[in-house]
Amino acid sequence: MKSRLYKVALSLALALSCTVVASGQDLVYARQQLDTLASEAFHGRGYVARGQQLAAEYLLREFQRLGLQPLSDNYLQPFSLEVNSFDSVLLRINGRTLVPGIDYLLYPKSGYGEAKKLKSGNKTAIFNYQNPPKSGKPSWEVLLETGHPKLTWSVGRETWPLPYFQLSGAATPQKIKTISYVVRGNFRAHQAANVIGYLEGSSNPDSVLVICAHYDHLGRMGSTLFPGANDNASGTALLLDLARHYSRPENTPAYSLLFIAFGAEEAGLVGSTYYVNNPILPLNRISLVLNLDLMAGGSQGLMMVNALKNPAAYQALDSLNKAHSLLSSIQKRDNAANSDHYPFSQKGVPAVFLYTMGDVTAYHDPNDRAEKLQLQHYPAVFELLQRFIQHWPNRIQP
């Protein structure tokens, strides 16, 4: 009796554990990683307060904890880049202090400077964002671009001689009488790194599937945080969740998996470009690069960039999606230099970029926050990728 009960309990436990393995994703884990990476402590994973380095060190520890193998001395592939960044920012127009990130942004290539109650006149260049001046004037001390329908920030790789503000339409007053401002910052070299972990395949280890996601974002503009929750703490969390799943011995795929969390994507695909010029495994061993960026949406399906050059990958993903009724659609578009798959594709490596569509409207602004993301479609996205990875490159029998 006792032993029969034990057997029943054991088979029940096995059945349960099989269910867990089959469903794969761990929403609690992914949510935790996303919240952590998008938190204040990582300073928007950019070039202020060592944010990006802190994130790299965090990911290194996570790769280690999950049991991924380093391919060199450690998991980091360091490189450096020059970036324009801002330590403190203030803008007051007609005596009213504006809210950074909401009312205005600094043009990413803005210079630095300070002024108190500068009267609008020949020292101030004020122009609508649709009509920038053709050339500068020596008298100018500050540039003010007005009327922006949507403020979108990025990373500057050079510095202009003057402070340069971009005002939202809502924050642009009828008449600008006085401007006070402070812009303190610097243009200098920063250390950055790609974080790389490897899982050897069980029967075909020479063939490598690369799963990558950039973990950097825009950092801070002064004290204003750009959390980059969808862009791309979400893709990084998904990468970690896939690494967590496949690092379990019972889930080892036939071919090898190379997980790369790229740095400095927002500065112009700098980390991935560095990687393809200094690959740790020969690029010709890569059967496909799956680049994950903006993965927190999904109500309007999933887009594959560079699908036209990779029809087998598109067909596989699309038929698995249909067979298992996961997302509303898988759409395709031609190649674009819009994320880390691109440097690989330029070297002739099969590489696609997947991003989710729908649910998230914030983009490169302070509203891209973790608490705004529902992750409703995350389990479906994970399952789709898991099924894809399981079948690739065996031309898919869903």
Grouping H, G, I as helix, E, B as strand and the rest as coil, residue 324 is coil
Identify which range of 24-32, 94-102, 231-239, 389-397 contacts Zn ion by CB under 5 A.
231-239
Q: Are 222 and 87 in contact (CB under 8 A)?
A: yes
| 97 bridge partner residues | 92
| Nearest residue (CB) to Zn ion, 231 versus 383 | 231
Residue 232 makes contact with Zn ion by CB under 5 A: yes
Q: Is residue 250 exposed (0-12), middle (13-18) or buried (19+ Cβ within 10 Å)?
A: exposed
# residues near Zn ion by CB under 5 A = 3
> What is the nearest approach in angstroms of Zn ion to the Cβ of residue 293?
4
Whichever of 124 and 291 has its CB closer to Zn ion, that residue is 291
Chain position carrying tokens 């695909």: 269
Q: Convert 114-140 into a string of H (helix), E (strand) and C (coil).
A: EEEEEECCCCEEEEECCCCCCCCCCCC
SS3 of residue 255 by DSSP: strand
Name the residue nearer to Zn ion (CB basis): 293 or 318. Answer: 293
Q: Closer to Zn ion at the Cβ: 145 or 216?
A: 216
In the chain, the amino acid numbered 107 is Y
Q: Residues near 20 by Cβ (< 8 Å), separated by ≥ 6?
A: none
Span from 179-187, 232-240, 279-287, 362-370 in contact with Zn ion (CB under 5 A)? 232-240
Nearer to Zn ion, 241 or 293 (CB): 293
Does the footprint of Zn ion cover residue 340 (CB under 5 A)? no
Per CB under 5 A, the segment of 161-169, 195-203, 289-297, 326-334 that binds Zn ion is 289-297
Least gap, CB of 29 to Zn ion (angstroms): 21
Tell the smallest beta-carbon distance from residue 362 to Zn ion (Å): 12
Supply the minimum distance, in Å, between the C-beta of residue 227 and Zn ion.
Answer: 13
For residue 329, the minimal CB distance to Zn ion (Å) is 22
Taking alpha carbons only, the member of 183, 263, 259 closest to residue 219 is 263
The residue count of the chain comes to: 398
Which one among 293, 318, 340, 383 touches Zn ion, defined by CB under 5 A?
A: 293
Q: Is 231 in the site for Zn ion (CB under 5 A)?
A: yes
Single out the residue of 90, 57, 94, 62 nearest to residue 76, CA to CA: 57
Measured between alpha carbons, how far is 159 from 139 in angstroms, rounded to an integer? Answer: 19
In the numeric block, the tokens 């592939």 are attached to 77
Return the number of the residue (267 or 389) whose C-beta is nearest Zn ion: 267
- Of 45 and 148, which has the nearer Cβ to Zn ion? 45
Question: Measured on CA atoms in the order 246, 34, 321, 304, is the torsion positive or negative?
Answer: negative
21-80 residues near Zn ion, rule: CB under 5 A: none
Tell me the window of 32-40, 132-140, 158-166, 225-233 that interacts with Zn ion (CB under 5 A): 225-233
Q: Interface with Zn ion by CB under 5 A: which residues?
A: 231-232, 293
